[in-house]
Amino acid sequence: MTTYVVTGGAGFIGSNFVRLTLESRPQVAMVDIDLLTYAGNLENLADVPRDRHTFIRADITDPEAMRRAIPEGADLLINFAAETHVDRSILGPLAFVRTNVLGTQVLLDVAREKGVKRFIQISTDEVYGSLEPDEPPFTEDWPLDPSSPYAASKTSADLLVLASHHTYGQNVGITRCSNNYGPYQFPEKLIPLMISNAMEDKPLPVYGDGRQVRDWIFTDDHSRAILAVAENGQPGEVYNIGARSERYNIDVVREILRQLGKPESLIQFVTDRPGHDRRYAMDPTRLSTELGWHPAVDFEEGLGRTILWYQQHVDWWQRVRDGSYREFYDKWYGNR
């Protein structure tokens, strides 16, 4: 058996990654460490095979807990755990510094102590800051210029990961991905918020003029790219991930309304996010040429699949909205 440790595996991208990896890698057993903050939800993992998935509730900023949780000599440690919502980072940056910066350093140190063979940091396009409309997409050597407290904390973590490689020769890799969408995304993020609000005929709050650009990728395409980098990427390298799928926010919102057959009168333009980045776009050439990765799902198809998932899983997002998803831990894992 090969052992992959993931952190943050009860969140949106982490849980999709765990499912896809266990399906596609029958020789892999996973240890999944997650604190179950408001963003962690064990319902996201209800269908994964229990015999190859060990869940441990713990905080990545706690070195002793990490020493207990991370197995000696594990093949990979993939760090998804983070505070991730930009709006929350504007209201309270400290939690972001704690988990995203301190937590990453704790994991790097314990991974070295435990002889973990390779460390993968899941990072973001937001470390590069905002692009002008006529600029080319970000390459890996684009200057780091984060805007929000969230982006600054993720940038700090990236620098600590690279410092560990440079100083200790630790085998690390960094993936920087654009905006993900798909099943199990917490309905505070643009696409699931708009889908769930539209389904309930509630207003759809579009920040500012809605002409900000995000570069969208279906989360399974992100997971496949992470596997490629984790299993075959060069030590000490950064790989950008993106599906070359830039869209204005307002166009994404209109497409959701169109697919759901709901009226555009639900759109409500609201006060803009402070310091709102205007445009992100990723150039994934290194990943495609070195590791042969290409996205498989185009945006319209992926959005359709995502909308269908939210239509078929109303109970999931209703439980997130009313808070009852928090009881799931005790029901499923409390008495094992």
Site residues for ligand DAU per CB under 6 A:
84-86, 124-126, 178-179, 189-190, 193, 205-207, 212, 214, 249, 273, 280
Tell me the closest approach of the beta carbon of residue 125 to ligand DAU, in angstroms. 5
Helix crossing, 299-312 with 190-199: angle to 10°? 50
Q: Which does 60 bind (CB under 5 to 8 A by kind): ligand NAD, ligand DAU, none?
A: ligand NAD
According to DSSP, the β-strands at 246-248 and 213-218 are antiparallel
Q: Which does 249 bind (CB under 5 to 8 A by kind): ligand NAD, ligand DAU, none?
A: ligand DAU
Q: Which is nearer to ligand DAU, 63 or 205 (CB)?
A: 205
| Among candidate residues 218, 222, 244, 219, the one with its CA nearest the CA of residue 301 | 218
How many CB atoms are located within 10 Å of the residue 62 CB?
A: 15
Among 66, 77, 103, 183, binds ligand NAD (CB under 6 A): 103
> CA-to-CA distance for 158 and 330, rounded, in angstroms?
35
Provide the sign of the torsion angle of the four alpha carbons 2, 20, 112, 284, taken in this order: positive
Query: What is the rounded CA–CA span in Å between residue 92 and residue 89?
Result: 5
Which token pair is 287?
Answer: 């990943």
284 binds, among ligand NAD, ligand DAU, none (CB under 5 to 8 A by kind): none
Phi, psi of 213 (to 5 degrees): -115, 130
Q: Which is nearer to ligand DAU, 110 or 281 (CB)?
A: 281
User: Applying CB under 6 A, what is the total number of residues that bind ligand NAD?
Assistant: 30
> DSSP class of residue 227?
H
- String of contacts with ligand NAD for each residue 185-204, x by CB under 6 A: -x------------------
Question: Residue 215 interacts with ligand NAD (CB under 6 A)?
Answer: no
List, as one string, the DSSP characters of 155-196: HHHHHHHHHHHHHH---EEEEEE-EEESTT--TTSHHHHHHH
Select 74 or 229, whichever has its Cβ closest to ligand DAU. 229
21 binds ligand NAD (CB under 6 A): no
The dihedrals phi and psi of 125, each to the nearest 5 degrees, come to -65, -20
d(C-alpha 288, C-alpha 293), whole Å: 5
**Burial status of residue 276 (CB atoms within 10 A of its CB: 0-12, 13-18, 19 or more):** middle
When CB distances are held under 5 to 8 angstroms depending on the partner's kind, the choice from ligand NAD, ligand DAU, none that residue 122 binds is ligand NAD
Classify 149 in phi/psi space as left (phi over 0), alpha (psi -120 to 50) or beta: alpha
Q: Minimal distance in Å, beta carbon 280 to ligand DAU?
A: 5
**Taking CB under 6 A as the rule, does residue 5 contact ligand NAD?**
no
In the list 14, 233, 295, 302, the residue contacting ligand NAD (rule: CB under 6 A) is 14
Q: Which residues are catalytic?
A: 125-126, 150
| Identity of the residue, 43 or 126, whose beta carbon is nearer to ligand DAU in the bound complex | 126
Residue 122, interface with ligand NAD (CB under 6 A)? yes
Contact of residue 128 among ligand NAD, ligand DAU, none (CB under 5-8 Å per partner type): none
Tokens matching residue 63: 């070195």
Residue numbers 50-79 binding ligand NAD by CB under 6 A: 59-61
Residue 226's binding partner among ligand NAD, ligand DAU, none (Cβ under 5 to 8 angstroms by kind) is: none
- Give the one residue of 5, 35, 107, 204 binding ligand NAD; rule: CB under 6 A: 35
The residues binding ligand NAD (CB under 6 A) are 7-8, 10-14, 34-37, 39-40, 59-61, 80-84, 99, 103, 122, 124, 154, 177, 179-180, 186
